[in-house]
Structure 1
């Protein structure tokens, strides 16, 4: 996608990489489902690469808790 780990880790959230329409869908549909079911499978979205190009992606998310959890 044109980003290095230095550009992402601790600096950007997943939603920051989405196009505006995909970000809106993520915030209004995916996040509530993640809170309710702890997982979301097969959500179509668009991500913006480091050079500005837009790519279609299929997203599956699972909430992890405890020692193996990663911050959003």
Structure 2
């Protein structure tokens, strides 16, 4: 995950949701600029080559994420 708001309390968010994966901080706004994020949250799904294959603007629940990963 990447946090594009360095002022946000990421540790509190991680603890509240019990997240176990790393969250990078985009202190210079490069991710926001390069990926043209227009709303928070935005979820990108990348393939094994690093190419964006899906993008979801707005909140994403567990079922939606599962369908995004495996759209069968």
Could you state the TM-score of these two structures normalised by the residue count of structure 2? Answer: 0.26
> Higher strand share goes to which structure?
1
> Higher helix share goes to which structure?
1
Could you state the TM-score of these two structures normalised by the residue count of structure 1? Answer: 0.26
Larger RCO: 1 or 2 (CA < 8 Å, sep 6+): 1
